[in-house]
Amino acid sequence: MVAEIIILNSKDDFAKPYDYLVPNHDIDIIKVGMRVSVSFGNRKNTIGFVVKLKENSLLEELKYIDFIIDDIPLIKEIDLELAYYIKDKFYISLAKALNTLIPGVLRIKYEKKIVVLNRDKLNPILLSLLKNKTNIYTKNLLKHNNLIKKEEIDNNIKIISSLKKENISKEIIYIYQKELNVKSDKQKELMAKFKEKHTLTRKEILDLGFNKTIIDSLIKKGIIKKDYNEVLIKPNILDLNKYIPTPNERQLKIINNIDLSKYSTNLIYGVTGSGKTLIYLKLVEKVINNNKDVIILVPEIAITTELLNYFKQIFNDDISIIHSKLTNKERLSTYLKILRGDVRIVLGPRSALFAPFKNLGLIIIDEEHSDSYISNNIPCYDVRDLALIMAKKLNIPLVLGSATPRVTTYYKALNNEYNLYTLPFRATNNELPKISVVDMREELKNNNKSIFSNLLFSKLKSTLAKGEQAIIFLNKRGYASSVMCRDCGEIIKCPHCDLPLTYHQYNNKLMCHICGYTKEYIKICPKCKSKRIKYVGIGTEKIINEISKYFPNYKILKVDSDSVGNDFNEIYLKIINHEYDIIVGTQMIAKGLDFPLVTLVGVINADMGLFYPTYDAYEKNFQMLEQVSGRAGRHSEGEVVFQTYNPNNSTIIYSQNHDYLGFYNDEIKKRKLLDNPPFKSLLKINLSYNDKDILFENALKLSDLFKENIMTIGPSESVVFKIDENYSYDIYLKYDDFKDLNLDYRLDMVARGIKIKVEDL
How far apart (Å, rounded) are the C-alpha atoms in residues 90 and 744?
Answer: 9
Segment 349-408, tens digit of pLDDT: 898 999 888 899 999 999 999 988 998 888 899 999 999 999 999 999 999 999 999 999
Q: With contact defined as beta carbons under 8 Å apart, do 401 and 436 qualify?
A: no
pLDDT in the model for residue 682: 93
Do 687 and 752 touch, CB atoms closer than 8 A? no
142: left (phi over 0), alpha (psi -120 to 50) or beta: alpha
- Distance CA(312)–CA(243), nearest Å, equals 12
Residue 565 predicted with pLDDT over 70:
no
Question: Can you tell me the mean pLDDT for 338-356?
Answer: 88
Q: What is the pLDDT of residue 151?
A: 47
pLDDT tens column, 575-605: 888 999 999 888 777 766 778 899 999 999 8
For residue 751, give the DSSP letter. P
Q: Is 155 exposed, middle or buried (0-12, 13-18, 19+ CB in 10 A)?
A: exposed
CB 361 within 8 A of CB 303: no
Give all strands (DSSP E) within 621-741, no chain letters. Answer: 639-644, 681-689, 711-723, 726-735
Predicted local distance difference test score (pLDDT) of residue 332: 74
Residue type, 133: K
Confidence bin at 258 (pLDDT 50/70/90): very high
Burial of 427 (0-12, 13-18, 19+ CB in 10 A): buried
- The strand pairing partners of 483, in sequence order, are 535
Q: From CA 705, how far away is CA 193, in angstroms rounded? A: 78
Contacts of 206 (CB under 8 A, 6+ apart): none
User: C-alpha 263: how far from its chain's center?
Assistant: 25
pLDDT (tens digit, 9 = 90+) per residue, 143-184?
A: 455 555 544 555 666 665 555 554 445 556 666 666 666 777
pLDDT per residue as tens digits for the range 683-736: 999 999 999 999 999 999 999 999 888 999 989 888 788 888 899 999 999 999
User: Rounded CA gap, 384 and 96, in Å?
Assistant: 19
pLDDT at position 430, please? Answer: 80
Instruction: Give the per-residue pLDDT at 166.
Output: 46
Gap between the Cα atoms of 285 and 160, Å rounded: 38
Burial 91-124 (b: 16+ CB within 10 A, else e): bbbbbbbbbbbbbebbeeebbbbbebeeeeebee
Question: pLDDT at position 704, please?
Answer: 92
Q: DSSP for 196-255?
A: HHSEEEHHHHHHTT--HHHHHHHHHTTSEEEEEEE--PPP---------PPP-HHHHHHH
pLDDT value at residue 671: 94
Q: Which residue has the higher pLDDT, 257 or 451?
A: 257
Residue 368: which of 129, 82, 623 has the closest Cα?
623
DSSP for 139-170 reads GGGGGGTT-S-GGGBTTTEEEEEEE-GGGS-E
Looking at residues 252-273, what average pLDDT do you find? Answer: 95
Neighbours of 606 (CB within 10 A): 31
Q: Residue 404 and residue 473: Cα distance in Å, rounded?
A: 18
- For a pLDDT cut of 90, what percent of the chain falls above it? 37
The more confidently predicted of residues 697 and 7 is: 697
How far is the C-alpha of 619 from the C-alpha of 320, rounded, in Å? 33
User: How many Å apart are CA 170 and CA 158, to the nearest integer?
Assistant: 25
Average pLDDT over residues 191-201: 76
Q: What is the mean pLDDT of residues 605-612?
A: 80
More confident residue, 152 or 416: 416
Round to whole Å and give the CA distance between 165 and 195. Answer: 27
Tell me the pLDDT of the chain averaged across its residues. 83
122-138 confidence digits (pLDDT tens): 667 666 666 666 555 55
Q: Which residues are registered as beta bridge partners of 35?
A: 49
Contact residues for 516 (Cβ-Cβ < 8 A; gap 6+): none
Question: What pLDDT, on the 0 to 100 scale, is given for residue 607?
Answer: 85
Condensed to tens digits (0 to 9), the pLDDT of residues 30-45 reads 999 888 888 888 887 7
CA distance 300 to 308: 13
Delineate the domains of the chain, giving CATH numbers in brackets.
1-163 (3.40.1440.60), 170-230 (1.10.10.10), 249-375+383-423 (3.40.50.300), 434-476+540-671 (3.40.50.300), 477-537 (2.20.28), 681-760 (3.30.70.600)
Predicted confidence (pLDDT) per residue in 59-99, tens digit: 888 998 888 877 778 788 888 899 999 999 999 888 888 88
d(CA 147, CA 155): 15
Residue-level length of the chain: 761
Name the pLDDT band for 619 (thresholds 50, 70, 90): very high
Between CA 52 and CA 540 the distance in angstroms is: 53
- Whether 737 shows a pLDDT value over 60: the answer reads yes
- What confidence score (pLDDT) does residue 238 get? 54
